[in-house]
Amino acid sequence: MFHKEGFKIIINTFLLCAVLALLAEYRIENLWIQKAVQVVSVVLLILVLQFFRNPKRRTVLNENHIISPVDGKVVVIEEVFEKEFFKDKRLQLSIFMSPLNVHVTRYAISGSVVFSKYHPGKYLVAWHPKSSELNERTTVVVENNTVGKILYRQIAGAVARRIVNYAKVGDKVVQGTDAGFIKFGSRVDLFLPIGTKVNVEIDQIVKGGEDCIAAI
């Protein structure tokens, strides 16, 4: 129900909200202020719980399909020069996550992890053109015999200050399973082979682990 990356924050928030509610009950005489503090405490806890939610997703495994790795909105579909790993032209597809989205990152294809690297960096807003090059980020490449190599990049934003990446070189991964987590919003870039058929449009809302965003 909730992602393991949020357990510590959830417990600390619960304790904080409980203390605030009790202090308001026994230390604040004004009824309106008392109830306001208690309501704010409950709302804060609800927001934290919804942020770290980890709903089960039913992934239909298909070697020809590339599924969305995250929940969010498609903001980029274009051919670009990918200079970190491929060093040639690729089809970039980017998905922006707001703080209200589920923030679990899932594997877009099954295969073997052949590259995984963390880059420290800045915290520009996620839609900034240079965020994929300058912000804190992780780069992961997964390969299989059908699709070939696909690169995905978890990118921190102005609010997202921690990226969790589970992919390690040599791992055998399964499409739709947990690949990591980005705390408090940001975006994920995918770099696909040129000629890949894209099944989504700009501004389309996608669901991680379920929606097929491209196919070979």
pLDDT at position 10 over 90:
no
With tokens 């609010």, the residue in question is 159
The predicted-structure confidence for 130-164, as pLDDT tens digits, reads as follows 666 768 889 999 999 999 999 999 988 766 557 88
Q: What is the pLDDT of residue 30?
A: 87
The one catalytic residue among 68, 94, 132, 186: 186
Q: What is the pLDDT of residue 158?
A: 62
Q: pLDDT category, 129, cuts 50, 70, 90?
A: low
Q: CB count, 10 Å around CB of 5?
A: 18
How distant, in Å, are the alpha carbons of 97, 212, 213 from that of 103? 7, 18, 18
Question: What's the token pair of residue 65?
Answer: 């399909």
CA–CA gap between residue 38 and residue 35 (Å, rounded): 5
In this predicted structure, which of 31-35, 80-84, 196-200 has the lowest mean pLDDT? 31-35
Q: pLDDT category, 29, cuts 50, 70, 90?
A: confident
Percent of the chain scoring above 70 in pLDDT? 91
Quick check: is 186 catalytic?
yes
pLDDT at position 86 over 90:
yes
- Residue 190 vs residue 10, higher pLDDT: 190
pLDDT at position 187 over 80:
yes
Contacts of 129 (CB under 8 A, 6+ apart): none
Percent of the chain scoring above 90 in pLDDT? 59
- Residue 97 vs residue 77, higher pLDDT: 77
Supply φ then ψ for residue 35, to 5 degrees: -70, -35
Read off the pTM.
Answer: 0.85
Q: What is the pLDDT of residue 159?
A: 60
